[in-house]
Amino acid sequence: MNPTYESIRRSIESGETSCETITAEMLGAIDDRPGLNAFLAVFRENAIARAREVDRKFRDGTAGRLAGMVVAVKDVLCLRGERVTCGSKILESFESLYDATAVSRLLNEDVIVIGKTNMDEFAMGSSSEHSAFGPVLNPVDSTRVPGGSSSGSGAAVAAGMAHTALGTDTGGSIRQPAAFCGVVGMKPTYGRVSRYGLVALSSSFDQIGPFAHSTADAARVLQVIAGKDDADSTTSQDPVPDYLASLTKDVRGLRIGIPEEFLKEGICDDVLAAFHRAVDRLKEAGAKISNVRLPHARYHIATYYILMTAEASSNLARFDGARYGYRSPRAKDLQEMYLLSRSEGFGQEVKRRIMLGTYVLSAGYYDAYYLKGQRVRRLIQSDFLEAFRAVDALLMPTTPTTAFRFGEKASDPLQMYLSDVFTVSANLAGTPAISVPAGNDSEGLPIGIQVMGKHFDEATVLKVGDFLEEEVT
Amino acid sequence: MKLNDAYEPVIGLEVHAQLLTASKAFCSCSTQFGVEPNSNVCPVCLGMPGTLPVLNRNLVEFIIRMGLATGCSITPRSVFARKNYFYPDLPKGYQISQFDLPLCTGGSVEIDLDDGSRKTIRLTRIHMEEDAGKSIHDIDVDTLVDVNRCGVPLIEIVSEPDMRSPREAYLFLTRIRQLVTYLGICDGNMEEGSLRADANISVRRKGTTPFGTKTEVKNMNSFRYVERALEFEINRQIQVLTEGGTVAQETLLWDANLGVAIPMRSKEEAHDYRYFPDPDLVPVLVEEAWTGRIRESMPELPTVRRDRFESTLGLPRYDADVLTAEKETADYFEDTLQELTNQTGRDRKDLAKPVSNWVMTDILRVMGERKLAIGQVPISPVRLAGMIRLILDGTISGTIAKELFEEMLGSDEDPESIVERKGLVQVSDHGVLSAAIQEVLDNSPDQVRKYINGSDKVFGFFVGQTMKKLQGKGNPSVINELLRKKLDGLKSA
């Protein structure tokens, strides 16, 4: 139904269509469904102007690798001269001075950035209900959440408002909305994509990744944004392999592991059925399926929320009303400037996590929470290293359920946190993981299947994702 | 102020040294001092959302130099940590520092006490961190912030509580200053804030071992203030104790104008910094090969140089101390000595003392009078050596040399050519000298009589008068010899 970039490019090159036409269509799709609230900013004039420029490049034969691809960018990534709100009132009118590395690498390959997408405030949330600018509706069923925190990016791609989108994934914020919206979403290995220009939620977990209709398009975007960046010390020097070359549909002999701990309880029947269908397809195609153990699986959520909030509490300290962003007009002195600006500028969930994180780093609690959390994280990482000695990839559902209803979990943060149960592990371990559509449940809501791979082995993850996407949907 | 003899102070210092790297610790902004406020800035040091720090390797190199110079062990894998607190001149809301895994641990420096003995002051650690900006409170109703200094690299040198008097603390601080300037890693300027010291102070009854409750004194931003501030705080603590009170653990700010240390409001000091490893930076790995390369490129350390001046050049301890206090002075001295050795072919050991005398008295005097660095003194080592050679080979007298020295300050002319042009060559001709002496004696019958009557004091008078007659150009030893002969002849006659 949705064309891949390859076919789009072919029709531009053949003169059948143009970047300008495509961009105009996408802008039309955005205008057709304003209630979706997927975008916080739409670059109408700029996108059309740029589309014309890229059309010229096509004529000149100088078009870049992703020329004409229309991309939506999560509003937590910086674009020079454009607002970067992070879904927060505290940065409502803040404009960035520079481009995020991932965005500028895409621009260098002639993509057309159509706008900035809505999100849970500072990427904290799984439903878009924490956006200061109203929730994003799920394009498949507007009574349902689109997932989060990259809610607008997932919804925009699913609703045909962009070919691909950039999101960020700290504990599932790409994969979960991809699963809920029925698109492909990938979190690369920690260190594969530069975080420069990504307004940090949790620095040791955050990664930028693509949303797309196909694994192939996700691979195309990853190909461009991946690789060493001098501006981010945590990026890897490892060369970036040719990802498209790995999409052979040949899974013969691949060793696929099923983490038993994850399948014990709490997964709804339709998701479980879709998962088993995927396992059967792989088996039939010659993959070797085996069970693997992740002994510390039950500590994943707790460990994640301790360490993530700790880092977040420090990362968000800079939003203090002193230099940029919201400053409370009621503040009469320095203390009040901090207290009131932050109390009024941040939403509930952000304040909750700042308080949790401040607590776990506090004198007297540091050892019991932060330090212990770090130790458990290392145990979790070694669980995965151990598992990946026996298998090439792990397979699991992306989420225990399909998209839930608005309000269903908003009042209970713990229930909301638990919906991240299958996704946080890839961030704890730093491994790459993809969510691909795997059919629909009985209510017609999309189901996502997740493939996780070894560090820097995005190629295998993409290969299995590509196979499943084709065979199951 | 007199310190109470029944008590003994216990002092530890934390010294921050601003490093002379060309660019900041975690971005490529310049570290230049004194430029327009908020001009040496970029998104990274402004702490803009989404930016990330990238470590300047020179910072690591500089701290390793200091670590090696003080005998620290170099941590092969050290870690940056975030020190979290809110302040308007701290754009990220945290300072990147080091906490439980600093780059250098242990080590020590030696100080020379006034009684001639030496004392070892142990170091706890040396770590790297970035500086904060500067808040300016007194210009307007608002507080202004200059973030040029944000991200400028610092090292913090933390001593053990090994100092027992303000004087020892001062000597420690001057030793640290000498080391960082010798190593070329900091300009050592306390007044401009390149070197900053905070002190931890407690007092205890003499002869007892447990430490008393300590206070921290900050803001001693000049070498002059360190001793005064410490004396103030020690006396304050002793007074509290002698009046039966207890010392409260608190932080005080030294106010140089009032000459007192004022406690900070408890709100300002009630910090829980919530240190944790900075996830944006990878651990700093220092391999032995790197340390080895730095070790090989280390300059000679000041105490080693001082000992060498004493032992191989035969200089008195005092001279060696003065000459090596500043690296540039020691370099100037050695350059002059080398030049003079080349010019005369004589043994360095014989030449060292005359060179030392000229550097220590005349060169240092000119520097003081004209507020010059030694490199700015108009007399280069080559010219100074040339002048000293003229004295040593008898061409000019010491008296003439003083005149020549002043002349050389005003031009870059060779000493020889000045001597020639101004006719300053020393007169050793017996005939000329005898004639001048005779004239002096003829004109001073009273003094001659005194001499004959046994007063040797007037001998100096005759020498002076003769020299005056010869416009200072007479060879003093020949004058002495001829004069003595003549006067003694008169005496026995």
Q: Report the complex ipTM.
A: 0.95
CB B80 within 8 A of CB B96: yes
For domain A5-229+236-246, the question of CATH label 3.90.1300.10 is answered with yes
Q: How many CA atoms lie within 13 A of B100 on its CB side?
A: 7
In this prediction, residue A472 carries a pLDDT of 44
- Are B201 and B322 part of one and the same domain? no
Here the tokens at position B91 are 């754009």
Q: What residues contact A308, with CB distance under 8 A and at least 6 apart? A: A170, A171, A201, A202, A205, A353, A357
Q: Parallel, antiparallel, or unpaired: how do β-strands A255-259 and A288-292 relate?
A: parallel
Domain closes at, from B422, B446, B464: B422
- Are B139 and B269 part of one and the same domain? yes
> Which A residues in the span 326-355 are in contact with B, Cβ-Cβ below 8 Å?
334, 338
CB A105 within 8 A of CB A196: no
Quick check: is B207 in a domain?
Answer: yes
Quick check: is B230 in a domain?
Answer: yes
From A220-234, B237-251, B410-424, the region with the lowest mean pLDDT: B410-424
Domain closes at, from B227, B255, B290: B290
Quick check: is B308 in a domain?
Answer: yes
Residue type, B380: S
- Are B354 and B485 part of one and the same domain? no
The residue annotated as part of the active site, out of A18, A127, A131, A149, is A149
Nearest to B127 by CA among B150, B161, B104, B95: B104
Number of A–B residue contacts, CB under 8 Å = 96
Q: Do A203 and B84 touch (CB under 8 A)?
A: no
CB B119 within 8 A of CB B110: yes
Per-residue pLDDT of chain A (473 residues; tens, 9 = 90+): 578 999 999 999 999 999 999 999 999 999 999 999 999 999 999 999 999 999 999 999 999 999 999 999 999 999 999 999 999 999 999 999 999 999 999 999 999 999 999 999 999 999 999 999 999 999 999 999 999 999 999 999 999 999 999 999 999 999 999 999 999 999 999 999 999 999 999 999 999 999 999 999 999 999 999 999 999 999 999 999 999 999 999 999 999 999 988 887 789 999 999 999 999 999 999 999 999 999 999 999 999 999 999 999 999 999 999 999 999 999 999 999 999 999 999 999 999 999 999 999 999 999 999 999 999 999 999 999 999 999 999 999 999 999 999 999 888 887 778 888 999 999 999 999 999 999 999 999 999 999 999 999 999 999 999 999 964 44
Quick check: is B416 in a domain?
Answer: yes
For B7-27, the pLDDT digits (tens) are 999 999 999 999 999 999 999
Q: What residues contact B371, with CB distance under 8 A and at least 6 apart? A: none
Gap from B272 CA to chain A (nearest CA, Å)? 7
Instruction: Report yes or no: B372 at the A interface, CB cutoff 8 Å.
Output: no
pLDDT at residue B432 above 90?
no
The residue annotated as part of the active site, out of A127, A151, A173, A202, is A173
State yes or no: is A233 an active-site residue.
no
State yes or no: is A341 an active-site residue.
no
From A412-421, B14-23, B134-143, B417-426, the region with the lowest mean pLDDT: B134-143
For B146, the closest chain A residue by CA position comes to: A323
- Is residue A214 reached through a cis peptide bond, with omega within 30 degrees of 0 on the bond before it? no
- Are B418 and B455 part of one and the same domain? no
- Are B320 and B404 part of one and the same domain? yes
The residue annotated as part of the active site, out of A74, A409, A454, A463, is A74
Gap from A129 CA to chain B (nearest CA, Å)? 23
Domain residue limits at B482: 430-492
Quick check: is B221 in a domain?
Answer: yes
User: Based on the structure, what is the number of domains in chain B?
Assistant: 3
Please name the helix (run of DSSP H) or strand (run of DSSP E) that holds residue B451, with its range, or none.
helix B445-452
In this prediction, residue B102 carries a pLDDT of 97
Q: What residues contact B209, with CB distance under 8 A and at least 6 apart? A: none
Q: Give B195's strand partners.
A: B17
- Are B232 and B169 part of one and the same domain? yes
- Are B330 and B220 part of one and the same domain? no
Domain closes at, from B422, B453, B483: B422
Gap from B255 CA to chain A (nearest CA, Å)? 23
- Are B238 and B371 part of one and the same domain? no
State yes or no: is A343 an active-site residue.
no
